[in-house]
Amino acid sequence: MFDPTARVGRDTSLLSGELRLAGRLDTRFFKLLLAVQASGSLQKAARAAGYSYKGAWLVLENAGNLARTPLVASQTGGRRGGGSQLTPAALELLQSWQQLQRRHQAFLAEQDAWLLAQPQLAHLLRSLAMKSSARNQFAGTISAVSPGPATTQVTLDIGHGNTVTASLTTTAAQRLGVQAGQAALALVKSSEVVLISDFAGYQLSARNQLAGTLSRVQKGAVSSLVGVTLPGGSVVTASVTNDAVDALGLAVGQPVTASFKAYAVMLAVAT
C-alpha cells in the first residue's frame, strides 16, 4: 500500500513541498485516517499521528462538518468491544490523497531533475541546504590540491580574489575525492578566527588571512560576535571577548584582517 506520509523526494533532493488540501488537510491528517483504517481504534490512531484523543476527535469532526458527511463511524460494545472505522466518504478522500501524493512526488522529481541540470543553481541550493553549527560557511571551487604523505592542502576559490585553504589528512582527501574544479564548502568556527587590526611590521604563519572592513560588533555578556565584510560582500564572523574588543578599539568601518589556520577549516564536498 502506498504510504501517504512517506517523505517526498530523495535525501539529495534540492526541492521539497507539502501537499495540503482545502488549506487544512495535510499529511498529519491523512496519517490519522490511515491509522484508523489500520488499527480500527481512534485512540491508537491518535497516538500514531501525534494527536491527543480529544484533538483527533475535533479535527475529524471539523473536517466532517466541512465535508457535510462523517469521516469516522464509531461502534460501542459488541463482541469486539467497539472501535472506529472510516466511512465511505473518508475512504474516497484517502484514496484521492494517495493518488495526489503520487502525482505530487512525480512533479517534484521532475522539477528536481531540472534543477540538477543547472550546475550553478544546484550548487547554490546545496550550499544553502547544508546545516552546520559552524558560523562561517564559504562556498567556492577548489582551485588547487597539494597532496603530501600525511596531509593535503586544498585551496578553495570563494570569489572576488579571496581564497580559503584547508589542511586535511591525505586519507580524508582521498575519501572525499577532492580535485581542482570541484565545488566545495569551507566551514570555520567563529572561535577559530583571530582579528588583526595592526600587524606592526610582523607576518603571521596562519595560512588564511582575509582582509576586509569591520561591519558588525554584537556584544554579549562575555564575548562579542564581530563581522568582517570582505571584498565582494562575504562576511567572516569572529567570536572575540569583550575585553579584546575594548583593548583593540574595534569599531564599525575599521579595516581588519580575519585570520585562521588551515587546520581549522573543515572541507565539505557534494556527493
Tell me: the pLDDT tens digits for 210-245?
Answer: 999 999 999 999 999 999 999 988 999 999 999 999
Residue with cell 604563519: 205
pLDDT tens per residue across span 5-54: 444 334 456 667 788 887 778 899 999 999 999 999 999 999 999 999 98
Q: What is the pLDDT at residue 12?
A: 54
CB 143 within 8 A of CB 198: no
- pLDDT tens string 76-109: 654 544 688 999 999 999 999 999 989 988 888 8
Q: What is the pLDDT of residue 131?
A: 55
Per residue in 138-155, pLDDT tens? 888 999 999 999 999 999
9 beta partners = none
> Rounded mean pLDDT of 253-258?
96
pLDDT at 123: 59
pLDDT value, residue 14: 62
Judge whether 42 and 53 are in contact, CB under 8 Å: yes
Q: pLDDT-derived band of residue 2, with 50, 70 and 90 as boundaries?
A: very low
- How confident is the model over 154-164, as pLDDT tens digits? 999 999 999 99
Q: Is 247 helix (H, G, I), strand (E, B) or coil?
A: helix
Helix locations, 85-169, DSSP H = 88-116, 119-129
pLDDT band at 127 (very low <50, low <70, confident <90, very high): low
Domains and CATH numbers, the chain: 27-117 (1.10.10.10), 123-269 (2.40.50.100)
Mean pLDDT of the chain: 85
List Cβ neighbours of 104 (8 Å cut-off, separation of 6 or more).
8, 17, 19
**DSSP of 88-110, one letter per residue?**
HHHHHHHHHHHHHHHHHHHHHHH
